[in-house]
Amino acid sequence: MGKPVLGHLDPEFISIMDETSAALREVFQTTNQLTFPVSGTGSAGAEAALVNMIDPGDRIVVGVAGVFGARLVEMARRAGGIVTEVTAPWGMPVPTEKVAEAVRRRGAKIVAIVHAETSTGMRQPVDEIRRAIGDDPILIVDAVTSLGGIEVDVDSWGIDVCFSGTQKCLSVPPGLAPITFSPRAEWKLETRATPVQSWYFDARLLRSYWEDVEHRRAYHHTAPISMVYGLHEGLRLVLQEGLDARWARHHDAGRFLRNALLERDFELIAADGYRLPQLTAVRLPKGSDDSLRGDLLREFDIEVGGGLGEFAGVAWRIGLMGLGARRQHALRLIQALDALM
Amino acid sequence: MGKPVLGHLDPEFISIMDETSAALREVFQTTNQLTFPVSGTGSAGAEAALVNMIDPGDRIVVGVAGVFGARLVEMARRAGGIVTEVTAPWGMPVPTEKVAEAVRRRGAKIVAIVHAETSTGMRQPVDEIRRAIGDDPILIVDAVTSLGGIEVDVDSWGIDVCFSGTQKCLSVPPGLAPITFSPRAEWKLETRATPVQSWYFDARLLRSYWEDVEHRRAYHHTAPISMVYGLHEGLRLVLQEGLDARWARHHDAGRFLRNALLERDFELIAADGYRLPQLTAVRLPKGSDDSLRGDLLREFDIEVGGGLGEFAGVAWRIGLMGLGARRQHALRLIQALDALM
């Protein structure tokens, strides 16, 4: 990211853009042509996905089992979508059959769901959703906290729009939101009834910058050049390690941490079988309180996320993501907890 | 920007945020509390300004004398604004009295105008606009290419929402859009009839992250940490130099370049008296063609912007911005042109 800033239409930078899109396709496991980083953080990816797919009045079913599902609802409403929420208790996945049932009942054209719910540490089995809803609805998946940490298989899972963030399992500083659109999603872009409400996130306009159209690139906005350098290098490291090896490393570190926390009377929030290795959400043992997080930061330079939403003050979210997904990092935390508690 | 990435709610990072907002207030010359960088590039600042100020059905007058004025029109329409365009030939400023007349005729609540039109090198006298339209309308000013290069005086010019980009005269890589909202603009936020159509750009939500509310910061989205570091340092350098000295340096470099280009039969696009020193747009001398830009890049490592919109292929846009606003940089270009032409 410290390299000299090239112009956003410099041929050398366009090569870096092309390599970044190609690497993103590998990491998303897709052949989708329209694949690029949105110039904003993960939430910008969510908004880009929704505003591009929703025409005002479109019916959309959104799975909600935490803060980030609720955020999709809020964004979908602001985009003019008629939202049906399918909920689950926090920590549980959204029941696949309830999603499918809501789609049928409401005649919904779009389904949006979170793959890795960062507020609870829950993994949603996304592949089951497509099988249950059939071929027609557009399926939008929030892979902010999953991409590069656990399997995300855009094409074989039948995802139409998948977005992520750079700062989770890709181990790149925050600032970009990788996104990919299937041919069906591109068809929706072409056949929308109304212009996308956001000019900045309009995927058709962004396409003319990220892809050759008549052998040239059109200026849309100035890309965050240094951030693209960072993502380019981060993706190189992901692919050098290999997706399978990377997922295995996340699983190993997550299991190690989970077991150590259980031994210390922490209570896991996500249901058995649906636990993310990269993000472990726990209730504190009886008698401990949230101020421990401050001690961890001050005395041990270890940052643990606080509870979000209904878990504020009573739960922690412990990330072992990207380069940090190693037993040695989990062990540092456990040793610090043993010293403090 | 290479410093370790702090958490977005780490107390150390919050200090950096506060210092960044304080420095932005100095550079914008404002006491506005709500002043922060939007997590996107300059166009994200434009969209944030418009979607926060426009309720669907609001009448808005937009000045258009180039690509970036036209962009404001497009964004305002997508936000549901009823737009009246006041145009001027490219290179000329939008006539102040026509703007005021359109506001009166249409009963417009909002005026949006570009201070430094990057497609033509024209400076719009923004201070005259407020005097002509009176106190009531909300005045939105695009200062992407002016902030840090020429005078921008948010408070004494009566601007309500002013936005910029990092990569122009602030000499920071692209990726953030500084923005400031006056108390009147904040009042509009509080009294809107509808939610802001964009969740990502919703200034009321962003305020709870960038300002203390009941002594704490609320999580909205993960800020692009490394970019904020870059802006923090860039603003320190701007203020160390001093705004007056910085503007004088831009004026000196711009005048030097203009004169040298005139001697070589380039034709200035912006009208006399309205020329930006930081961005000189020129028509090529007869017999020269746009392919020279490629030669400059390949042989001399000098990047010159191509013409935008109606100037594509026939004009150049030469930036002398921020750290680059020095005679020595202008001279390198002139010497290269003398060698090539």
pLDDT of residue A212: 87
* Residue A2 within any structural domain of the chain: no
User: Does residue A256 share a domain with residue A228?
Assistant: no
Residue A310 makes CB contacts below 8 A (sequence gap 6+) with: A90
Please tell me the distance from the alpha carbon of residue A336 to that of residue A307, in angstroms, as a whole number. 20
- A275 DSSP assignment: B
Question: Residue A22, Cβ neighbours under 10 Å: how many?
Answer: 12
* Residue B6 within any structural domain of the chain: no
Contacts of B200 in chain A (CB under 8 A): 40, 43-44, 47, 75
Asked if A56 reaches chain B (Cβ–Cβ under 8 Å), the answer is: no
- Region of A124 on the Ramachandran plot (φ > 0 left; ψ -120 to 50 alpha; else beta): beta
Contacts of A303 in chain B (CB under 8 A): 7, 10
Find which of B199, B226, B233 to mutate to test the A interface (most A CBs within 10 Å of its CB).
B199
Residue-wise burial string across A91-123, b where 16 or more C-beta atoms lie within 10 A, e elsewhere: bbbbbbeebbebbeeeebbbbbbbbbbbbbbbb
Q: How many beta-carbon contacts under 8 Å exist across A and B? A: 137
Please tell me the distance from the alpha carbon of residue B336 to that of residue B329, in angstroms, as a whole number. 11
pLDDT of residue A160: 98
Q: Does the structure show a pLDDT above 90 at B212?
A: no
pLDDT of residue A25: 98
Q: Does the structure show a pLDDT above 90 at B135?
A: yes
Nearest to B78 among A9, A198, A221 (CB): A198
Name the residue of chain A whose CA is nearest to B165's CA: A222
Q: What is the domain-level CATH number for residue B135?
A: 3.40.640.10
Mind telling me how many Å the CA of A291 is from chain B's nearest CA? 14
User: Does residue B127 share a domain with residue B266?
Assistant: no
Query: What φ, ψ does residue A180 adopt, rounded to 5°?
Result: -140, 140
User: Could you tell me the strand order of the sheet in which B59-64 lies?
Assistant: B34-38, B177-181, B161-163, B138-142, B110-114, B59-64, B82-87
Whole-prediction pTM value? 0.97
Please tell me the distance from the alpha carbon of residue B190 to that of residue B207, in angstroms, as a whole number. 12
Asked if A1 reaches chain B (Cβ–Cβ under 8 Å), the answer is: yes
Asked if B230 reaches chain A (Cβ–Cβ under 8 Å), the answer is: yes
Q: Which of A137, A280, A5 is nearest to B321 (CA)?
A: A5
Regarding beta strands B116-117 and B177-181, do their DSSP bridges make them parallel or antiparallel, or are they unpaired? Answer: unpaired
pLDDT of residue B309: 87
Q: Does the structure show a pLDDT above 80 at B214?
A: no
ipTM: 0.96
User: Residue written as tokens 């990047």?
Assistant: B303
A175/B79 CB distance under 8 A: no
User: Could you tell me the strand order of the sheet in which A305-306 lies?
Assistant: A267-268, A279-283, A315-319, A305-306
A303/B221 CB distance under 8 A: no
pLDDT tens, position by position, B289-301: 999 999 999 999 9
Boundary-marking domain end, from B220, B240, B260: B240
Q: Are B127 and B96 in contact (CB under 8 A)?
A: no
Tell me what the pLDDT averaged over chain B comes to.
97
- Count structural domains, chain A: 2
Mind telling me how many Å the CA of A313 is from chain B's nearest CA? 13
User: Does residue A264 share a domain with residue A221?
Assistant: no
Q: Which of A90, A87, A88 is nearest to A315 (CA)?
A: A90
User: Does residue B125 share a domain with residue B146?
Assistant: yes
Q: Which two tokens stand for residue A319?
A: 């990330």
Asked if A216 reaches chain B (Cβ–Cβ under 8 Å), the answer is: no
Q: What is the domain-level CATH number for residue A300?
A: 3.90.1150.10
Asked if A40 reaches chain B (Cβ–Cβ under 8 Å), the answer is: yes
* pLDDT bucket at B205, cuts 50 / 70 / 90: very high
User: Does residue B218 share a domain with residue B325?
Assistant: no
Name the residue of chain B whose CA is nearest to A308's CA: B219
Nearest to A222 among B1, B77, B167 (CB): B167
pLDDT of residue A125: 98
Q: Between residues 247 and 306 of chain B, which touch chain A (CB distance below 8 Å)?
A: 297, 303, 305-306
pLDDT tens, position by position, B137-157: 999 999 999 999 999 999 999
Boundary-marking domain end, from B186, B220, B240: B240
* Residue A87 within any structural domain of the chain: yes
* Residue B96 within any structural domain of the chain: yes
User: Does residue B258 share a domain with residue B217?
Assistant: no
Going A246 to A252 to A253 to A255, the CA torsion angle's sign is positive
A221/B74 CB distance under 8 A: no
Mind telling me how many Å the CA of A131 is from chain B's nearest CA? 31
Please tell me the distance from the alpha carbon of residue B119 to that of residue B86, in angstroms, as a whole number. 17
Nearest to B40 among A44, A71, A219 (CB): A44
* Residue A5 within any structural domain of the chain: no
Mind telling me how many Å the CA of A206 is from chain B's nearest CA? 13
B223/A1 CB distance under 8 A: no
Length of chain B: 341
Mind telling me how many Å the CA of B132 is from chain A's nearest CA? 30
* Residue B4 within any structural domain of the chain: no
A10/B303 CB distance under 8 A: yes
Boundary-marking domain end, from A208, A240, A272: A240
B197/A78 CB distance under 8 A: yes
User: Does residue B336 share a domain with residue B214?
Assistant: no
Per-residue pLDDT of chain A (341 residues), as tens digits, is 999 999 998 999 999 999 999 999 999 999 999 999 999 999 999 999 999 999 999 999 999 999 999 999 999 999 999 999 999 999 999 999 999 999 999 999 999 999 999 999 999 999 999 999 999 999 999 999 999 999 999 999 999 999 999 999 999 999 999 999 999 999 999 999 999 999 999 999 999 999 988 778 888 999 999 999 999 999 999 999 999 999 999 999 999 999 999 999 999 999 999 999 999 999 999 999 999 999 999 999 999 999 998 899 999 999 999 999 999 999 999 999 999 98
B222/A40 CB distance under 8 A: no
pLDDT of residue B325: 98
Q: Are B80 and B30 in contact (CB under 8 A)?
A: no
* Residue A1 within any structural domain of the chain: no
Contacts of A198 in chain B (CB under 8 A): 47, 78, 197-198
Q: Torsion over CA of A245, A249, A250 and A254, rounded to 10 degrees?
A: 150
Asked if B79 reaches chain A (Cβ–Cβ under 8 Å), the answer is: yes
Q: Three-state SS for A164?
A: coil
CA B5 to chain centre: 28
Q: Are A294 and A73 in contact (CB under 8 A)?
A: no
Residue-wise burial string across B174-206, b where 16 or more C-beta atoms lie within 10 A, e elsewhere: bbbbbbbbbebbbebbeeeeeebbbbbbbbebb
CA distances from residue A158 to A46, A135, B204, B273 in whole angstroms, order as listed: 18, 8, 37, 59
Mind telling me how many Å the CA of B156 is from chain A's nearest CA? 30
Q: Which two tokens stand for residue A313?
A: 């003050």
User: Does residue A94 share a domain with residue A21?
Assistant: yes
Q: Three-state SS for A124?
A: coil
CA A233 to chain centre: 19
User: Does residue B86 share a domain with residue B216?
Assistant: yes
Contacts of B43 in chain A (CB under 8 A): 199-200, 220-222
Asked if B4 reaches chain A (Cβ–Cβ under 8 Å), the answer is: no
A258: part of which helix (H) or strand (E)? Answer: helix A243-263
pLDDT of residue B260: 98
Please tell me the distance from the alpha carbon of residue B46 to that of residue B339, in angstroms, as a whole number. 40
Q: Are A87 and A65 in contact (CB under 8 A)?
A: yes
Q: Which two tokens stand for residue B233?
A: 């340092």
Find the domain containing A327 and state its range: 242-340
State what percent of residues in chain B have pLDDT above 70: 100
Find which of A222, A228, A295, A301 to mutate to test the B interface (most B CBs within 10 Å of its CB).
A222
User: Does residue A213 share a domain with residue A262?
Assistant: no
pLDDT of residue B215: 77
pLDDT tens, position by position, B1-49: 999 999 998 999 999 999 999 999 999 999 999 999 999 999 999 999 9
Q: Are A65 and A89 in contact (CB under 8 A)?
A: yes
pLDDT of residue A213: 80
A43/B200 CB distance under 8 A: yes
Nearest to A40 among B39, B77, B297 (CB): B39
Mind telling me how many Å the CA of B167 is from chain A's nearest CA? 9
Q: Which of B127, B172, B119, B168 is nearest to B147 (CA)?
A: B168
Nearest to A75 among B74, B199, B230 (CB): B199
Please tell me the distance from the alpha carbon of residue B199 to that of residue B205, in angstroms, as a whole number. 8
* Residue B3 within any structural domain of the chain: no
User: Does residue B257 share a domain with residue B230?
Assistant: no
User: Does residue B211 share a domain with residue B86?
Assistant: yes
pLDDT of residue B310: 86
Contacts of B230 in chain A (CB under 8 A): 226
Q: Between residues 173 and 212 of chain A, which touch chain B (CB distance below 8 Å)?
A: 173-175, 195-200
pLDDT of residue B216: 84
Kindly write down the DSSP assignment for every residue of B283-341, as one continuous string.
EPPTT--TTHHHHHHHHH----EEP-GGGTTTEEEEE--GGG-SHHHHHHHHHHHHHH-
